[in-house]
Amino acid sequence: MSKLWSPIVHTLTPYVPGEQPKIQNLIKLNTNENPYGPSPKVIAALQAEAADSLRLYPDPDSSRMKAAIAEYHGLQVNQVFVGNGSDEVLAHVFQALLKHDSPLLFPDITYSFYPVYCGLYGIQYETVPLNDQFEIDIDDYSRPNGGIIFPNPNAPTGIPLPLAEIERLLQANKDSVVVVDEAYVDFGTESAVALIKSYPNLLVTHTYSKSRSLAGLRVGYAVGDANLIEALIRVKDSFNSYPIDRFAEAGAVAALQDEAYFQQTRQQVIASREQLVTQMQSLGFDILPSGANFIFARHSQQPGEEIAAKLREHAVLVRHFKKPARIADFLRITVGNNMQNDALIQALKSYLSI
Ligand SMILES: Cc1ncc(COP(=O)(O)O)c(C=O)c1O
């Protein structure tokens, strides 16, 4: 606390990301990173970028990257916005499109950065409870609002919302922006990008941090009607002209060009998830249906917080959220590679004495 701070700083409750501890031989299943490295073509592109040209600023429009994303999704370049991770893209979305007289709506159990952006930008919001199965129920969103945002699949539940439900929401909600945060969509959830042409108030955000294995590069993007993208560009150009550096652009373009690697690694994660679900169910866990690269699981007898602490003693890190009370016994566990998943199962067996 300091009187030197701007007043708003005293009111902020910042987001707390999952731990990145320096423990040896750590099995890190707490931040939904991809267990496989990026495509070798990405590494080659990054190496080629380490050159004299680094003394020059990057392209402020990231045109190569936008063109690659537009082509990938069958959209126009003016329907694409890129940023330093989807967190930065989302920050601009909150400021550019979601601050209105009526409250922004999002689920009560969801990505915990959303209320943080509301605090930063002074956006009023209401949370909408998930139903008893921890699902988003579209009918609960038919009320006056200044915007709607949710991840699909939702985080941390992992539960996917069918595309038909999203379309039903868009039909009923035409006067405010609907943001679908598709950070985990490539692990088995239907994308809403196909609806962009029909709904000018739909914005979809994606990240390279999960299915493209590039969390360290910080690349994310939004796609939607050119009118929405223009608002985002206005905010971005009032904030930072060069959010995508030369490495990020080169790596992002190369990642999109290696479709075979993308398909192979994402299918591997999906297959490992199904295997992990079966193994954990046999250890007494109840697991919500997941369309993501993580599962949300609770044990029939043991408290979630205690399991997380015991796993940590075995150098296996998973994510436990204390709040809200409804999810206090759940653990969010990233799907790892075979070695990591085996270590998790062995640690659980030893704790549960099975
Ligand atoms: C639902 C959701 N959206 C967005 C993000 C942000 O991802 P990034 O900033 O790495 O693109 C995350 C990260 O974990 C997430 O879980």
Q: What is the pLDDT of residues 218-227, one digit of tens each?
A: 999 999 999 9
- How far apart, in whole angstroms, are the C-alpha atoms of residue 312 and residue 23? 10
Expressed in angstroms and rounded, the spacing between residue 263 Cα and the centre of ligand 1 is 20
Q: What is the largest CA-CA distance in the chain?
A: 60
Ligand 1 pocket, Cβ-based, cut-off 6 angstroms: 32, 85-87, 111, 151, 155, 181, 183, 207, 209, 215, 220
Please say if the pLDDT value at position 110 is more than 80: yes
The Cα–Cα gap between 201 and 208 comes to 24
Q: Give distance in angstroms: CA of 53 to centre of ligand 1.
A: 30
- Burial annotation 11-39 (CB, 10 A radius, 16+ → b, else e): eeeeeeebeeeeeeebbbbbbbbbbeebb
Query: Average of pLDDT values for 213-232?
Result: 98
| pLDDT score, position 180 | 99
Q: Residue 221: its pLDDT value, please?
A: 98
pLDDT of residue 267: 98
Q: Please say if the pLDDT value at position 1 is more than 80.
A: no
Res 354: pLDDT = 75
Q: Is the pTM of this model over 0.85?
A: yes
What is the overall mean pLDDT for the chain? 96
Domains, the chain, ranges and CATH?
14-37+260-352 (3.90.1150.10), 40-257 (3.40.640.10)
Interval 160-204: pLDDT, tens: 999 999 999 999 999 999 999 999 999 999 999 999 999 999 999
Atom of ligand 1 lying closest to residue 110 CA: 1
Nearest atom in ligand 1 to the alpha carbon of residue 86 is: 11
Element (H, E) at 146: none
Q: Give yes or no for residue 54 having a pLDDT over 90.
A: yes
Residues 239-257: tens digit of each pLDDT? 999 999 999 999 999 999 9
Calculate how far, in angstroms, residue 207's C-alpha sits from the geometric centre of ligand 1.
7
